[in-house]
Structure 1
């Protein structure tokens, strides 16, 4: 018995002596190795794996683009999982402190390096991995650290360091299969950022050979297939798509692999084309693909467009846009394709603009297509603004010339045409429904058939629409709230028993009511017609600008000389005294030259009417240098001419300026050179010529600062202060304090990165601090309910994102312009209720244009935008 107790005593003695982190004995090492590996290291590694799974799950694959090799690291996901990283660091730090003689110390240092990598503490991460490379005795861990170091250098675009690590690893021996897989995967990432497709393919091909995880290998094979397809190597692409189906990939990826395999399959005979069409139809009918039907229709549309079946392709794209899909980005590609067709085939720039508006709302600012669409849409926005100005103002001016009786008749005819259109639309919907014979069977038991709908009022949408119109004519456009509707509101539970058919019927009825409410009344139409000369002059002024800007835009941005000529010639004919005539002649000269027309006519007009215009110098010297070289040379000449002006050598200064304009006609210095020439005119020409040149300069120059200088010169010459200038001066003299505030505001506005764009698509933004955002889990759902109740037909979308560490934002979009967004905010302030949203939070909501939202997303400074918002929208 004593021997038994003695054995226990010896065991505990050995156990506790092994707990020492200083003694380097076999027992100590065994204890610390075991506890370090299976306690701290295991738990720390588990936390990092959880984070990596969160990154993977939060990423929505965009199969329309080549998949990323590494899942993108979203800062919002890192912030949401910050506790995991804290715990991982804590476990690994304890392992290092408590088990210093363990062989797992270096592995825990590696995990700390990974924590720093995911937290974007790149300097600390680099130091950690460099330390391991120099000090660790574990070859595999050193190689793994170097590979991770290389990835950081790649992301930081430190190319020299990347090349150094690649060169170093190329000389290393006995790199494990696991590390070789990571190495070639990282190399593929590097070649991708370098734009080296061939290098990327080679690296991923090698990586696939070392991949042990079948799902990972399947994904790499899919990426390789996409790359080969992009290079036009269809046979190889087909093989790799088939390979990617192995390894039990997610259903969505296997769906795309089969879909894209069809794209790269050989199609030599008409029966193959029929087979492909049947294949798409079968995919569409498959219930498994319910959430992917928009993709199927989109891909079938692309196929039909390749067969030159344009009408069928467009119809399929429009059907695809109406399908509910699992990936919002897909809608972006659908609308983007419709915009391309409108631009390239139809030259319908208005329609293209509205398609791109829809496309942009489906992409995130981080998506590759976002910036390209935003740039393209900016030009189209400008086009539509000018086009609609011309259309609207022309019509209003024409109407102003009619008698009151004729104006009233036009308004009545417009309203009647709109009513007829809505009735025809309702009838077309009914015809589409009647084609589905299944409804006959459903109605058989009720004693009615679809054929009886013509005699039964509530089965005939056309009759209902006519009834709505007749009601509005007699009683006005009032909400439909009579006794039965008011009484039904007291029984809120009754809506729980509504069938889907009833709900759909109510939604359709509301949609028709909404459409009818959009028809303006006769009084509204008549009130828009200009009555005074002042109103007509204002509309004509807008027309003058619109014709010029549209002509300029069509030539330089849309490369459409024919349409450009049409608008600019209308400008010159309608507004013969326009101050834009020299530039209009210049563009007409270029446009006619491009199309082989009579371009010399406009160079003659320039020389005859505007001999001193820079545009005249340009057409007279078409072979002179331009670009940055011309800018630098003209800058140097301007400096010399200004020195001559200060030395009162006006004749020599003017000669140098004129030579500069001849040699370098149109540069960024042209307006500055022209103003100095006008100033010289004030010294050596008569008063009338000087005044005339100042007035012309003020009208033709777009540079605000130079225009202000010229206006001050004109005031000094004539002593006459324009009305608006006098008002400004009066305001400035109110007091020193106000003057100081105005100056500060002016300076702030001048450096603001944001622009006032009331006609651009807008977004409504709720700003919450990080803590409050955690409590607002049901906010998006409540917004959706609010929209169904108040904006059922507006097709509003909601979403949220972390703007920075301090603020999360909740987004409602799209609104066609600032006015629509303002109306939404007003209703939101009046009617929206959410328990976690205070009145202060509601007051802090913002409106922002698409262009400004992109800028805000870059700068992350919500207060800077808030200052702009207060000045612009309030």
Structure 2
């Protein structure tokens, strides 16, 4: 009985301790033990397993500065979804089943980590904030705040990140583990802000608290890379040596050794043979078989510093072919080849194709990808027009030959293609093995020498080409005998049914790479319409190529050559006036005979805006010219409407001479043509309208001109229209579409603001102080928008109070008005935030720095908005 009583007593104690409501010593001990070593422990293990997978799946790119934190790969997280959800469930059980244990807050922290890894940012924020507010464990609170800081930096919410940094800086007794993570997270913050000095300072402090030797090695490697880029070679050398300590991975050790030699000896050494021997020894080392491309690439960069560009290019080509473990390096190799071809050889075609190759290896998320894509825009246009000119010129030349001559040219082309295929086969052929075993095989016609047909790539290629010459590009068939084919034909079976599809669809089959004569001859234009189409394309390409060469590539001589071809070969081109003007500018810039184009414009196109411009090269431009020409246009239009055509024309002509190239030029010209419809012949009016339609770029004005032209066309259904009425109707349309802005422009004649589109601009959001208080976090959302859409623009966001009525948010800088407008349009179309109402968003504007200083003094927002709408919108 006594034993039974004791057992009952003990069981009752344990049963009572299972309760999550009774806060007794026994209950707390039971729940602390169970929650820690069951739910919490298992959840923590699973999370760490996922983090290890993220780390092991990431491929370090040692040719670039390593990131402070290894990026979290969404694919790895997706594949580890079960582990993370299991960890979430376990941590949740620790909270629900053991509410009185001291591991509840730790479990909330683990749930925050799971949310963070699964990119559930809002939930992760809430979890970390909850731990910071509720937990009594100082170390856990610090850990949660550090993770919250990293999350803010991830999201580019730098305002919140700054607040968290400030809060942590005032905290005392942060343990060493948390200090290490804090300094690493600070380095990540500075990395995101592109502050290299800040990264160096934070990582240097992190090494003082690091416990893992491999992590210390990685940090030292990053510090060495940063010091090297700062030009501090001595410090870089010391840190590369430190990076080789702690048993790092072989690849990191290899790069640390390679870069240490570079900063210590290679850059400063005068013994070039010693340097080259060093690279050759690295290349020959079997341990580096997966890093041969790196060795050759670094050797190429060294030879570039010595000024040996041909050897540099040769080594870069070799590096592109060498095996390697980092595909991105191939992208950097092609990017380097592109730079050399652009800067050294001015070979823009090769540059474009090297950049194309670079983008196939460099990920879209890589910062250099956006830079390459931007550089490619001009080159793509250049190559398109160059290749179209070459192709169309060749086709037009061939079309002028007889059929026999065309066939001879096609045969010669096929022969050259055969020679190319043979040369490629020879280049791919492996060198002979001089070993005894191979010699024995060769003796028995089985070696890799030329005696064995199927081991000789050149012989096989030659055989395929000979077959093609004899039999044509016919499909391979299972039963190739002629008698069998005839039999199949007589029985009605299709011989193509026995085609060996694997042979005929093989992309490596040389027969598939050889064109046939019929295909080549079919490309040659046969009709006048075909030749006209090719000439129209040539006309466009010569003009566009001339513009690209002049404005974008600064190749004045080549621009002149292409534009001269245009005006010589296509004398009736609608692009001729602008081509003359570009030739005038180009010759003037190079000190050539630019006056000849002044004469040509005056003789051939006296009414062109370009003629007015060359006649008055010192004419005013910009804001003042636009305002004054607007005022003159209003006056000329009123005179036209009142029938005073002579005085109206006088004002138009004097305005075009004084302000030849403004946004008003084309409408002034159209008004002058409308006067022709009143005072000159029908043919003169028609002629001027047709020329205007061909040369004008404003689609709205072109449509008006076409409407005026309709009654002049020799079509029965248009003959009954009254010319005067039509002109009056379209003049009214011209007035409605253009004169509406005149009243605004009149108000702006005395505006303190000046239009300077080349000046640095900023974007401004204006709101009341009350609205600004509700917009807490808007800066972070703007930073996210910038990271997604303008990652390479280095935009900054801040806010200030303009006066008691207005607080403003400023996004800056934009190098000119065009860049600001690009941002403005993207912002208006894509930026969405609950903190910014549509009304406030619609009132956003951009402004030059000079005008902003004026606005900041005057505080007159409405005055500037009128200016903004008139000139930018």
TM-score scaled by length of structure 1: 0.72
Q: Structure 2 vs 1, CA of residues 523 and 272 (structure 1 numbering), >3 Å: closer, same or farther?
A: same
**C-alpha deviations, 1:223-260, integer Å up to 9, x for none?**
11111111122221122122112222222222222222
Q: In structure 1, how many angstroms separate the alpha carbons of the residues matched to 2:227 and 2:448?
A: 58
Q: How many residue pairs were aligned?
A: 699
Q: In structure 1, how many angstroms separate the alpha carbons of the residues matched to 2:636 and 2:148?
A: 56
What is the aligned partner in structure 1 of residue 515 from structure 2? 520
Q: In structure 2, how many angstroms separate the alpha carbons of the residues matched to 1:659 and 1:243?
A: 76
Aligned positions of 1:225-624 closer than 5 A: 225-267=224-266, 272-427=271-426, 433-434=431-432, 436-438=433-435, 441-447=437-443, 461-481=457-477, 513-514=509-510, 516-619=511-614
Q: In structure 2, how many angstroms separate the alpha carbons of the residues matched to 1:193 and 1:370?
A: 18
Q: In structure 2, how many angstroms separate the alpha carbons of the residues matched to 1:632 and 1:217?
A: 63
Q: In structure 1, how many angstroms separate the alpha carbons of the residues matched to 2:422 and 2:655?
A: 66
Q: In structure 1, how many angstroms separate the alpha carbons of the residues matched to 2:629 and 2:36?
A: 70
Q: Which has the higher contact order (CA 8 A, sep 6+)?
A: 2
**C-alpha deviations, 1:319-339, integer Å up to 9, x for none?**
222233322212211221222
Q: In structure 2, how many angstroms separate the alpha carbons of the residues matched to 1:656 and 1:133?
A: 75
Q: How far has the Cα of 1:666 moved from its partner?
A: 5.0
Q: In structure 2, how many angstroms separate the alpha carbons of the residues matched to 1:694 and 1:667?
A: 20
Q: How far has the Cα of 1:84 moved from its partner?
A: 3.3
Q: Structure 2 vs 1, CA of residues 236 and 616 (structure 1 numbering), >3 Å: closer, same or farther?
A: farther
Q: How far has the Cα of 1:366 moved from its partner?
A: 0.8
Gap regions ≥5 residues in structure 1? 486-505, 724-854, 860-874
What is the aligned partner in structure 1 of residue 23 from structure 2? 24
Asked whether the equivalents of residues 650 and 684 of structure 1 are also in contact (C-alpha less than 8 Å), the reply is no
* Paired residue secondary structure (2:470): helix
Q: How far has the Cα of 1:541 moved from its partner?
A: 0.9
Q: In structure 2, how many angstroms separate the alpha carbons of the residues matched to 1:672 and 1:272?
A: 70
**C-alpha deviations, 1:332-383, integer Å up to 9, x for none?**
1122122222222222222222222221111221111211122222322221
Q: In structure 1, how many angstroms separate the alpha carbons of the residues matched to 2:235 and 2:132?
A: 39
Q: How far has the Cα of 1:567 moved from its partner?
A: 0.9
**C-alpha deviations, 1:602-653, integer Å up to 9, x for none?**
34433443344343454456566767x5898599769958985997688688
Q: How far has the Cα of 1:545 moved from its partner?
A: 0.7
**C-alpha deviations, 1:741-800, integer Å up to 9, x for none?**
xxxxxxxxxxxxxxxxxxxxxxxxxxxxxxxxxxxxxxxxxxxxxxxxxxxxxxxxxxxx
Q: How far has the Cα of 1:663 moved from its partner?
A: 6.9
**C-alpha deviations, 1:292-320, integer Å up to 9, x for none?**
22222222222222222222222222222
Q: Structure 2 vs 1, CA of residues 451 and 630 (structure 1 numbering), >3 Å: closer, same or farther?
A: farther
What is the CA RMSD across the aligned residues, in angstroms?
Answer: 3.7
Q: Structure 2 vs 1, CA of residues 268 and 178 (structure 1 numbering), >3 Å: closer, same or farther?
A: closer
Q: In structure 1, how many angstroms separate the alpha carbons of the residues matched to 2:139 and 2:656?
A: 69
Q: Structure 2 vs 1, CA of residues 270 and 688 (structure 1 numbering), >3 Å: closer, same or farther?
A: same
Q: Structure 2 vs 1, CA of residues 39 and 706 (structure 1 numbering), >3 Å: closer, same or farther?
A: farther
**C-alpha deviations, 1:43-94, integer Å up to 9, x for none?**
2222322332333234332222211112223444444333333333322222
Q: In structure 2, how many angstroms separate the alpha carbons of the residues matched to 1:359 and 1:313?
A: 17
Q: How far has the Cα of 1:262 moved from its partner?
A: 2.8
Q: In structure 2, how many angstroms separate the alpha carbons of the residues matched to 1:336 and 1:243?
A: 31
Q: How far has the Cα of 1:484 moved from its partner?
A: 10
Q: In structure 1, how many angstroms separate the alpha carbons of the residues matched to 2:408 and 2:80?
A: 67
Aligned positions of 1:209-228 closer than 5 A: 209-228=208-227
Q: Structure 2 vs 1, CA of residues 631 and 173 (structure 1 numbering), >3 Å: closer, same or farther?
A: farther
* Structure number with larger C-alpha Rg: 2
Gap regions ≥5 residues in structure 2? 482-501, 719-825, 831-873
Asked whether the equivalents of residues 414 and 515 of structure 2 are also in contact (C-alpha less than 8 Å), the reply is yes
Asked whether the equivalents of residues 438 and 448 of structure 2 are also in contact (C-alpha less than 8 Å), the reply is no
Q: Structure 2 vs 1, CA of residues 460 and 134 (structure 1 numbering), >3 Å: closer, same or farther?
A: closer
The reply to whether residue 72 of structure 1 matches residue 71 of structure 2 is yes
**C-alpha deviations, 1:820-872, integer Å up to 9, x for none?**
xxxxxxxxxxxxxxxxxxxxxxxxxxxxxxxxxxx9xx99xxxxxxxxxxxxx
**C-alpha deviations, 1:6-64, integer Å up to 9, x for none?**
44333322222222222222222222222222222222222322332333234332222
What is the aligned partner in structure 2 of residue 108 from structure 1? 107
Q: In structure 1, how many angstroms separate the alpha carbons of the residues matched to 2:635 and 2:17?
A: 89
Q: How far has the Cα of 1:202 moved from its partner?
A: 1.0
Asked whether the equivalents of residues 439 and 447 of structure 2 are also in contact (C-alpha less than 8 Å), the reply is no
What is the aligned partner in structure 2 of residue 799 from structure 1? none
Q: In structure 2, how many angstroms separate the alpha carbons of the residues matched to 1:722 and 1:287?
A: 86
Q: In structure 2, how many angstroms separate the alpha carbons of the residues matched to 1:248 and 1:392?
A: 59
Q: How far has the Cα of 1:542 moved from its partner?
A: 0.9
Q: How far has the Cα of 1:722 moved from its partner?
A: 13
* Paired residue secondary structure (1:341): helix
Q: Structure 2 vs 1, CA of residues 670 and 148 (structure 1 numbering), >3 Å: closer, same or farther?
A: farther
* Paired residue secondary structure (1:210): coil
**C-alpha deviations, 1:541-561, integer Å up to 9, x for none?**
111111111111112222211
Q: In structure 2, how many angstroms separate the alpha carbons of the residues matched to 1:70 and 1:20?
A: 43
Asked whether the equivalents of residues 641 and 654 of structure 1 are also in contact (C-alpha less than 8 Å), the reply is no
Q: How far has the Cα of 1:709 moved from its partner?
A: 4.6
Asked whether the equivalents of residues 554 and 560 of structure 1 are also in contact (C-alpha less than 8 Å), the reply is yes
What is the aligned partner in structure 1 of residue 159 from structure 2? 160
Q: In structure 2, how many angstroms separate the alpha carbons of the residues matched to 1:74 and 1:623?
A: 59
Q: In structure 2, how many angstroms separate the alpha carbons of the residues matched to 1:460 and 1:306?
A: 41
Q: How far has the Cα of 1:189 moved from its partner?
A: 1.5
TM-score scaled by length of structure 2: 0.72
Q: In structure 2, how many angstroms separate the alpha carbons of the residues matched to 1:247 and 1:433?
A: 43
Q: How far has the Cα of 1:272 moved from its partner?
A: 4.1
